[in-house]
Amino acid sequence: MITSAVFLGSKKFGLSLFKALYEADPTISWTILCPPDLNDMRTCFSEFQDYAKLEDIDLLIANSPAMIEQYVLDNKPEVMVVCGYYRILSGRLIENVKLGVWGIHNSLLPKYRGGSPLVWQLINREKVIGSSFFKFTNGMDDGVILDQVKIENAEKMTIGEASDSVERAWISKIPEIWVNFCKGDIHLTEQNHTEASYCALRQEADGLIDWKLNATDIDAFIRAQDAPYPRAFFTLNEKVVKIVSHSIDSREIYGTCGQVFQIIDKSVVICCGGGTAIQVSKVLSDGSIVDASEILNSIKIRLR
């Protein structure tokens, strides 16, 4: 049986996962290492603090990978679980956790190893997306897999819907997995490294829309970066304008890619590649959500 464990994370999914782990076996002495992440809109740092106080769990602010490593070396927890922490953990740390460092990677490993895997799955219009509970190694997301969850028919989801679906699937599944893990009743699956694919970490600037793509690909691109992520955007007169709501225009429309084709009431139709178009309804500009026609108010406008 496990007596001591560490959880590392600060995001909403991490908090839900930790609650499920803690409640599955409250006899384990946990410590939460929580990065403050105050500049990240997805942070749940204060919620972690509230839950730790409620359950009388030790919580330490994890300001750096060096601090996390030192804590592990000094305290030697039996197991460590990571969810929503995106900085590299040292090999020295990994090697000094008796039962290993385990974590959630939001892809069906070995596919989509690397950064922003759920976003990339939506951008690529995968019909089935997933998430893996796996063991950390010195490599890139290449450790043995304890379990996975799959979400069917995901090609029309937003990133928020996809994240929530994955979270719900894990919260339903993780208590039984964790109880068996603590008993040593585990069945591990080696990854087939020949089937691996990789994805790069995305930044807010990567959300710039390429209007030369067809409307189906642009639709997926927008949904993949919807709230709570920073959203896909275009620029107009050097101002960033983010798309809040949109749809694919079913008509065959030819025009210069990025051209405003038509203003329909409060929505705006924008030409895309291959004779396709996107109808934009709401946009975020200067901190306010407004009708697209307030910003794109002329068919002379050409977005680049």
**pLDDT at residue 39, rounded to an integer:** 72
* Helix residue spans in 25-64 (DSSP H): 45-55
pLDDT at 270 over 70: yes
Confidence at 14, pLDDT banded by 50, 70, 90: very high
Higher pLDDT pick, 1 / 276: 276
Least confident window among 61-65, 193-197, 223-227, 270-274: 61-65
191-225 CB burial, b ≥16 within 10 A, e <16: beeeebeebeebeeeebebebebbbebbbbbbbbb
DSSP 4: E
Confidence band (pLDDT; 50, 70, 90) for 87?
A: confident
What is the pTM for the complete model shown? Answer: 0.92
Q: Rg of the chain over CA atoms, in angstroms?
A: 22
Map out the domains of the chain as residue ranges. Answer: 4-198, 204-295
CATH topology of domain 204-295: Methionyl-tRNA Fmet Formyltransferase; Chain A, domain 2 (3.10.25)
Instruction: Calculate what percentage of the chain has a pLDDT beyond 90.
Output: 90
Residue 219 in this model has a pLDDT that exceeds 80: yes
Predicted pLDDT at 38? 65
How is domain 4-198 classified at the CATH fold level? Rossmann fold (3.40.50)
Residue type (1 letter), 291: D
* Cα 269 from Cα 230, distance rounded (Å): 22
Flag the least confident range among 35-49, 91-105, 269-283, 288-302: 35-49
pLDDT tens, residue by residue, 133-164: 999 999 999 999 999 999 998 889 999 999 99
Tell me whether domains 4-198 and 204-295 share a fold: no
5 φ, ψ to 5°? -150, 160
Q: Report residue 51's pLDDT band, with 50, 70 and 90 as the boundaries.
A: very high
Alpha-carbon distances, residue 100 vs 28, 58, 75 (angstroms): 16, 21, 14
Q: Is the pLDDT of residue 129 over 70?
A: yes
Q: Specify the higher pLDDT residue, 230 or 43.
A: 230
Q: What local confidence, expressed as pLDDT, does residue 226 receive?
A: 97
